[in-house]
């Protein structure tokens, strides 16, 4: 009897654990066992998982101050001197484009893995689908450096070994140590001049997208590299955004719209394209609903959630605030502390509409009206407190 019980219990635990760990869509995906497992019979003890670059798997994102300041890459220094890599400065630049995973594209639970942990130093290897260490270094670095210097010369990073430059590595380390990347100047707005006949100018309010709409740098700058700001060929420098003049950048239509389409794909062209420079976001003009003093200082996520595309909400207060009930809602945060005669009344006794706008006194009083007669005492409005529990 005991053996039967243990057998049933084992089956139950196996099924339950399997339901928790296996995704519901896993069986519907076009996968074979060899996609993820290198051996023919993977087991729980030895799953034979194949490491592969998964950008969404990185679970740690350290700040540049936590990163090494300088790295000396000497694993491949047979012909050239070791490469002195200004790791901290590159990490500071990479924050805008995605942080650690810009270069460290495969990490699970941390810490951040160096390249050599995944890429073999030998070019003669069994798995040629994954670059060796030399190829990984060059694939990661060469695009920016080639666009920046307009050259493929190896000596831009590597110095040939000889008797006269043995101290070059230590002097380069000393030269980089303590250096930081200049602070990026974030514009309040940028005006782009386009060739669109129905609206030549696009005004992009940079600080509004960051502070109000909650966008992060990587939403727009993921594909940017150093040459957007730096170029050794002075004739190709991008026009400064601080001179107040409209910017003309030669890009294809798709390239221009790609950073914006994650939020504005279904919007009409006239939302951005105007005949002249436009003003900042106006909630009344765009949505038809003016923000009152309780909502105007809130970020969009407070009401619309964290979705990239904000959808129109029901403007009934009770659609978001669920604790408008006697004894639960602190009325004084509206700027009016109710007196004893009104504090225990239900909200709808005074507020006939679900928007909880101007109260009505005539339901109980024939000779009184608001705001001439107030059901309490005016108090300073506290915008720092919540007006109700918002639905999630």
Q: Does domain 190-281 have CATH number 1.20.120?
A: no
C-alpha distances out from residue 168 to 75, 110, 160, 172, 298, Å: 17, 34, 11, 6, 55
- Residue 201 contacts residue 246 (beta carbons within 8 Å): yes
> 322 φ, ψ to 5°?
-105, 0
State the pTM of this model. Answer: 0.55
Q: What is the 3-state secondary structure (H, E, C) of 309-358?
A: CCCCCCCCHHHCECCCCCCCCCHHHHCEEECCCCCCCCHHHHCCCCCCCC
Q: Characterize the bridge pairing of strands 336-338 and 190-193.
A: unpaired
Which of 142, 61, 174 has its CA nearest to residue 107?
A: 61
Domain residue spans of the chain: 57-160, 190-281, 291-392
Which of 302, 270, 275 has its CA nearest to residue 286?
A: 270
Beta-bridged to residue 336, according to DSSP, are 378
DSSP state of 103: T
The pLDDT, as a whole number, for residue 238 is 44
The pLDDT, as a whole number, for residue 70 is 93
Consecutive H or E run containing 170: helix 168-176
- Residue 321 contacts residue 351 (beta carbons within 8 Å): no
Query: Can you list the residues of the chain whose pLDDT is less than 50?
Result: 2-24, 236-242, 382-392
The pLDDT, as a whole number, for residue 54 is 58
What pLDDT digit, counting tens, does each position of 89-110 carry? Answer: 999 888 887 788 888 887 766 6
Q: Rounded to an integer, what is the distance from CA 106 to the centroid of its chain?
A: 18
Which of 105, 96, 100 has its CA nearest to residue 87?
A: 100
**CATH homologous superfamily for the domain 57-160:** Cytochrome C3 (3.90.10.10)
C-alpha distances out from residue 254 to 64, 97, 144, 250, Å: 33, 19, 22, 12
Contacts 24+ apart (CB under 8 A), 265-271: 269/196, 269/198, 269/199, 270/198, 270/199
Q: Determine the Cα–Cα distance for residues 128 and 115; give it in Å rounded to an integer.
A: 16
Q: Do the domains 190-281 and 57-160 match in fold?
A: yes
First CA to last CA distance, the chain: 49
The pLDDT, as a whole number, for residue 232 is 59
- Residue 143 contacts residue 103 (beta carbons within 8 Å): no
What pLDDT digit, counting tens, does each position of 159-184 carry? Answer: 888 878 878 899 999 998 988 888 87
The pLDDT, as a whole number, for residue 291 is 80
């Amino acid at each position: 009897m005991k053996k039967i019980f243990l057998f049933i219990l084992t089956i139950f635990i196996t099924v339950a654990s399997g339901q928790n760990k296996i995704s519901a869509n896993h069986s519907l995906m076009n996968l074979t066992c060899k996609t993820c497992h290198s051996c023919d019979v993977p087991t729980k003890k030895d799953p034979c998982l194949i490491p592969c670059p998964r950008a969404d798997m990185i679970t740690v994102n350290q700040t540049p101050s936590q990163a090494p300041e300088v790295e000396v890459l000497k694993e491949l220094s047979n012909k050239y001197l070791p490469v002195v890599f200004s790791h901290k400065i590159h990490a500071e630049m990479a924050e805008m484009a995605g942080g650690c995973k810009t270069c460290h594209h495969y990490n699970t639970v941390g810490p951040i893995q160096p390249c050599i942990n995944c890429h073999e130093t030998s070019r003669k290897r069994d798995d040629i689908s994954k670059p060796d260490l030399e190829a990984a270094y060059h694939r990661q670095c060469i695009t920016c450096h080639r666009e920046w210097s307009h050259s493929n010369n190896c000596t831009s990073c590597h110095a040939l070994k000889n008797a006269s430059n043995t101290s070059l590595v230590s002097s380069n380390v000393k030269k980089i140590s303590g250096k930081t990347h200049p602070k990026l100047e974030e514009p309040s707005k940028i005006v782009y001049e386009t060739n669109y006949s129905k609206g030549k100018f696009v005004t992009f309010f940079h600080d509004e997208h960051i502070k109000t709409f909650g966008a992060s740098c990587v939403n727009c700058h993921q594909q940017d590299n150093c040459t957007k700001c730096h170029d050794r060929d002075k004739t190709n420098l991008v026009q400064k955004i601080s001179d107040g003049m409209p910017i003309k950048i030669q890009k294809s239509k798709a390239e221009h719209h790609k950073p914006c389409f994650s939020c504005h794909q279904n919007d009409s062209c006239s939302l951005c394209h105007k005949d002249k420079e436009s003003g900042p976001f106006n909630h009344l003009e765009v949505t038809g609903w003016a923000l009152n003093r309780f909502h105007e200082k809130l970020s969009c996520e407070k009401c619309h959630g964290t979705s990239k595309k904000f959808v129109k909400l029901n403007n009934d207060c009770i659609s978001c605030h669920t604790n408008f009930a006697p004894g639960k809602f602190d009325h004084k945060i509206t700027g009016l502390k109710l007196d004893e005669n009104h504090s225990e009344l239900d909200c709808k006794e005074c507020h006939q509409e679900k928007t909880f706008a101007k109260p009505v006194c005539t339901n109980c009083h024939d000779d009184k009206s608001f705001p001439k007669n107030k059901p309490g005492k005016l108090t300073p409005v506290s915008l720092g407190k919540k007006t109700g529990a918002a639905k999630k």
